[in-house]
Amino acid sequence: MAAASTEPLQPPRLQQLLERDPYLAPFRTDFQRRYSLFYNHLKNIEESEGGLDKFTKSYKTFGVNQLADGGIYCKEWAPGAEAVFLAGDFNGWNPFSHPYKKLEYGKWELFIPPKDGCSPVPHGSKLKVVIRAQNGALLYRISPWARYVVRDEDKVNYDWVHWNPPQSYIHKNPSPKRLKSLRIYESHVGIASPEGKVASYKNFTYNVLPRIKDLGYNCVQLMAIMEHAYYASFGYQVTSFFAASSRYGTPDDLKEMIDVAHSMGITVLLDVVHSHASKNSEDGLNQFDGTDSCFFHSGYRGNHQLWDSRLFDYANWEVLRFLLSNLRMWIEDYRFDGFRFDGVTSMLYHHHGIGTGFSGDYNEYFGLHVDEDALCYLMLANHMINSLHPECITIAEDVSGMPALCRPVAEGGGGFDYRLAMAIPDKWIQIIKELKDEDWNMGNIVHTLTNRRYEEKYIAYAESHDQALVGDKTLAFRLMDAEMYTNMSVLMPLTPVIDRGIQLHKMIRLITHALGGESYLNFMGNEFGHPEWLDFPRIGNNESYHYARRQFNLTEDDLLRYKFLNAFDRDMNKLEERFGWLASPQAYVSEKHESNKVIAFERAGLIFIFNFHPYQSYVDYRVGIETPGKYKILLDSDAGEYGGHQRLDHNTEYFSEEYPHNYRPNSIMLSGYS
């Protein structure tokens, strides 16, 4: 491997970053050191591996791959192994008949010639890599690069199945052009059905995608796709990184699902888990070569104390090959349009965010507690994606607020396109849980919704899958609780609890959508106030699927009030599609009136006005505006079709006056404002 410079390098556009945020100036050397690590990795990849393009195509050579002449080429990295063999149905499970040849740097390879012009390993046959460990034990392992693994109902562990069908699914539709803003429908294929079972890719393709399209979402973010042995882990304990989960169907079923989404103009993101891995060894990466290291740090550093999982060694050359190739495979084989990186906070810091609060002090983001190897991996990942597939999108799930995480690598940043605005759902929970309606603080709400790093894009959301899980509560449940089971019928009187819940559910979503970021996210079912929590089958609930489902049918029952919330969510998204406020500059907030409980702001040529007062309506209410002209109501949470009280006349036209108000040059008088 070539030697690299030890002198710190200046990111080409670092000065722009420091001028934009002068508080970062004292940390110039940190940015230089991080960029130097990134640059030297990139230089070594160019010199030792033939470039980033070749390096990240390693999924085509590692594992078990079919050659053009029908032969099979196998390659593994197992530095702790004494010997490596391939066994399976093809050789009667003889553990020694097909030994790998040892190469440099812990690599092993095997070539099996074609048999009568055909593959010696038939499609659908089972395989295992057999590792002779340093203590002489024989370990039967699934290749880390396995593309398809299945579990029989009567078994605990997954089996590796060779996937090489005579005819693979061929994508027919191009990926959508890169979106200026995202309206994301966070989804889980397995629960995407009213039935108490594991739903399929086919079900999602033909029953859920049309619903997502109708609701006005332009992007679907898929959770729990990377294979995970434990269903109740929500996909966050990955066992096979290159395998699409077989519990929903075949790889071709997933490819078809993505292709159909593309035909609808829907961008598809993968929830990728590179922050940790399952501890499973029989059907996971753990102890693949018989040691406790290999892909992971050894000892204490290699274990996440809260997640009970293994932590990658991001400084390891072969780990970088594995993870970067993993991203490349999902993009090029399945046509995913980008990634939401899970657990980024855990990656960024040696303390993994455990027992650590982030106050915003910049010293929290620089120093020895930062895992710069992990940060360098993220910079490499974003650089690779941006270089080879610039149309793809990356999102960081980071609760710490690390500066420049969503700025280009050339500025010394992490290279992500978006970060999740994780403070927003926490704020709504805190308000609903702790405050009376009359004590809601308008300034605090606005501050939370607008408090984001300059020129870093945020994805706003009122709630995600986290709030839907058992042990937490969705906004609908917090607002309406047990009455959701008894009083959501239109044949029942509208109780104060249901009335308040429905109105606030809509208002919270709209103000979050319009003020909180540059994109918006919603978890499936929450748009209509799904009445139950999410709980996967486990011992604690007698392996029940009753709560591992989404009751979309509730919105189709004309006698239930869920239809009102569903309709409002749809029309809110359609209005954004029409005016594009998410892609517009941040809103100008002209009013956050504490006693009136009114918030007013302008964005994308629209005026948004919210009355959060629990009982006070207003007539002839003046609102300041920038642009003079005639205004009409486009979306009204109080409209009858959304379960409102119809207190506003939608035929009314509002004309601006050259009358300054709240530091705006013009204003309009809203008669009948409620």
Nearest residue to 461 (alpha-carbon basis) of 470, 471, 474: 474
CB 421 within 8 A of CB 458: yes
CA 260 to chain centre: 20
Map 48-115 to HEC letters: HHCCHHHHCCHHHCCEEEECCCCCEEEEEECCCCCEEEEEEHHHCCCCCCCECEECHHHEEEEEECCE
Distance CA 185, CA 213 (A): 10
- Find how far residue 32's CA is from the centre of its chain: 29
Apex 520 CA angle, 423 and 359, nearest 5: 15
Measuring CA to CA, which residue among 654, 636, 653 is closest to residue 645?
636
d(CA 5, CA 7): 6
Of 148, 2, 164, the residue nearest 73 (C-alpha): 164
Known catalytic residue: 397?
A: yes
Instruction: Name 470's Cβ contacts closer than 8 Å, sequence gap at least 6.
Output: 533, 534, 535, 547
| Rg of the chain, C-alpha, whole Å | 27
Tokens of 323: 């993870």
Please, how many CA atoms are within 13 Å of residue 495, restricted to the half-sphere of its CB?
15
β-pair type (654-655, 630-631):
antiparallel
Q: Does residue 27 contact residue 17 with C-beta atoms inside 8 Å?
A: no
Determine the 3-state secondary structure of 258 from DSSP: helix
Q: What is the DSSP string of 495-529?
A: -HHHHHHHHHHHHHHHHHHHHS-SEEEEETTGGGT
Six-digit token string for 518: 């540059």
- Upper half-sphere CA count for residue 59 (Cβ side, 13 Å): 22
Residue 149: strand pairing partners: 160
Residue of 30, 313, 337, 342 marked active site: 342
Q: How far apart are the first and last CA of the chain?
A: 70
Q: For the chain, give percent helix, strand, coil, nearest 5.
A: 35, 20, 45
Q: Which of 159, 318, 371, 397 is catalytic?
A: 397
Provide the pairing of β-strand 630-631 with 338-341.
unpaired
Which residues are marked as active site? 342, 397
